[in-house]
Chain A
């Protein structure tokens, strides 16, 4: 089986991450319950005509993918695999509102087409003239991990050599209001630095696109290698500490080999205990990192976590703002990421320095 490398990255997030020559040099703080992204100049990548027609999610996906391809010095890839938890909400909301408001009359297909989950993958393929494998995963907080797992399977078994993988979600304003109603999004504004102390239900919601070129051939500029990815639909009554211990054992690792654990805490008082259990449990002597105060929560926010870990492994730098405890790792070699959303769809991702 071949080894799988992260050869390049491209990120659009609530931080200024679209420039790969920087790594969170200037942290942006927010005081809100729904935050958007720091936009790159989309016109540098997409023609004005196309840009007007495309929804935000499609634009973010195309541009983040181009940043990653440029970073790897590639024109095209063998396969394109996208994860998007909620899909293209703007197109869906627009079409459904038009349908309901005008009693099914006077509808045009544009927003219907742009609501289809695999539009981002299709548009990227169209732009790259890439006739290869093209999948879209839409499974809540493991949408991105499913995409990465599929790519890893392909590359390990030589079904492809270079795969573009991305996680994208866009904010839908109406959907966000509905999720506030059921307290999945916080009803009050929270300052980024106080996210984990909020003691309230729900998350600070956001959007973003994080893309990666994965390959079974290492480059001098590679960021990391992917050792393992595992997802769990539910955990039943089993404690998260036990689940992670089992995972490490399956991969012939012990707790001490994990230099940094990257946790997906989002400040939701009803579900952050999974992370807190690990912080106080098997990882109480490990350096802990969190990131959702920087990028917000969305179904593919964990792809920002992978972007973050990739950068730590490549640059061997770790920004102050992401430190969750005071323990300092002696080396940045092996990073474990753990994420879940509302107690379901847990994922463990193990990255290693190249």
Chain B
């Protein structure tokens, strides 16, 4: 397990842009994608804010050139768009040339179609094509098909809000161990009534713009997004001599083992994840120059994560910010879109600001980065934490 893991391609679609360039522009301009929900009919419309992708399903189907009898859920559509961008970005023409895999992730699979048609399936034969699209593996199979992957390792991870960080982690381990030469990793989730109401019933949705690490934070904004990264082995790089965007240097997944939906007050799981990831990367906490925090803006997460950061970094906390102020919390996709943002930060030596911050939290004295800042970055840490006590940290570096 000593081989390098290079990132050679990225693709993304989110509330702040339909590709990598648009996302980067929005981050530079401090332009948020948070608004009132427009595509989903919900009685909570005026009580919540979301990060919606502007394209309709029809527009996405058209972009993918799908026939009208397709049975793609929105997750399958968004995932296909982002994964295809990543392949183009990595300059891959023959996907089956090397031992290539796909590791996707999502939290609710084809729930958008299920909730739209749930009671109508018995009456209307035309919509029955969506029944088997409910399970989480369906969108991954479709993304693989869109990429032309055959006879390959294709799987799906679902660990709530840390899902796609875990997809990156598994991909890196498969490359390091030599089991795969190339793997496309990432995740996708679309907005659904199911998730809106689920988080609403947990009373952790903000009625205004989310403000991570702010004393008066009111909860999270849900968002939809998809992002994929292409990871390649030294073997492929030597053969192809292609540009490398960054490296997956360290990673770790731990469990808080505290509560099904809440994080422990002192962030035990988060602390362990950050420490273990540093160990895998063979780095010390001083080597981290920026943390893209999980920072959902719930009372519980930001306190727990902030304390964990203090436990790991002591008096030397690096610059940190949460980009969920731009995109909302995109659940299973969060780890992957924030991986893209971490790579953009590394490539451009820029720390993206944490929007909407007004008041310092009283439990500790660390403050997120509030202005766009140019700074030479070597390594970026990205945190993703989820229900079920799931805690993930991935470390990206400029150099191997």
Contacts and interface: CB of A to CB of B under 8 A. Distances in A.
B155 interface: yes
Interface string B16-30: 000000000000000
Contacts of A105: 43
Interface stretch (B6-14, B171-179, B298-306, B320-328): B171-179
A241 to B, nearest CB: 14
A156 B177 contact: yes
Interface string A127-159: 011111111111110110010001001001101
A116 B137 contact: no
Contacts of A139: 136-137, 140, 154-156
Interface residues of A, number: 67
Nearest to B109: A138
A103 B114 CA distance: 16
B151 A236 contact: yes
A126 interface: yes
A150 B155 CA distance: 11
Contact of B253 (A134, A140, A184): A134
B interface, over-half SS: mixed
Contact of B157 (A97, A137, A182, A234): A137
Interface in B227-244: none
Nearest to B144: A233
B201 A181 contact: no
A178 to B, nearest CB: 5
A182 B144 CA distance: 24
Contact of A126 (B119, B260, B272): B260
A131 B141 contact: no
Interface string A177-195: 0110110100000000000
B118 A96 contact: yes
Given A99-B197, A100-B115, A113 B261 contact: yes
A213 interface: no
A305 B141 CA distance: 24
Nearest to B145: A234
B174 A153 contact: yes
A328 interface: no
A126 B118 CA distance: 33
B135 A122 contact: no
B281 interface: no
A153 B173 contact: yes
A233 B139 CA distance: 12
Contacts of A126: 257-260, 389
B241 to A, nearest CB: 29
Interface in A91-124: 92, 95-97, 99-100, 103-105, 107-109, 112-113, 115-119, 121-123
A159 B141 CA distance: 29
Given A153-B173, A181-B122, A146 B202 contact: no
A96 B121 CA distance: 15
Contacts of B389: 122, 125-126, 134
Contact of A104 (B43, B135, B136, B269): B43
Given A131-B256, A134-B389, A107 B135 contact: no
A166 interface: no
A42 interface: no
B118 A140 contact: no
Contact of A137 (B109, B144, B155, B388): B155
A344 interface: yes
**Size bin of chain B's contact surface:** 35 or more
A interface, over-half SS: mixed
Given A113-B260, A138-B157, A133 B135 contact: no
Nearest to A342: B132
A243 B150 CA distance: 12
A107 B260 CA distance: 18
Contact of A181 (B44, B121, B136, B154): B121
A200 to B, nearest CB: 18
A146 B136 CA distance: 14
B79 to A, nearest CB: 14
Contacts of B261: 109, 113
Interface in B176-205: 177, 179, 193-194, 197-198, 200-202
Nearest to A106: B201
A231 interface: yes
B126 interface: no
A87 B138 CA distance: 13
Contact of B201 (A85, A112, A121): A112
A74 interface: no
A104 B44 contact: yes
A235 interface: yes
A135 B164 CA distance: 11
Nearest to B198: A112
Contacts of B260: 113, 119, 122-123, 126
Interface of A: 80, 85-87, 92, 95-97, 99-100, 103-105, 107-109, 112-113, 115-119, 121-123, 125-126, 128-140, 142-143, 146, 150, 153, 156-157, 159, 175, 178-179, 181-182, 184, 230-236, 238, 243, 299, 344-345
7 contacts: A129-B257, A131-B256, A131-B272, A134-B253, A137-B155, A181-B128, A299-B135
Listed from nearest, the 9 A-B pairs whose CB atoms lie closest are A122-B388, A233-B154, A112-B198, A117-B158, A140-B137, A138-B136, A139-B137, A118-B388, A109-B201
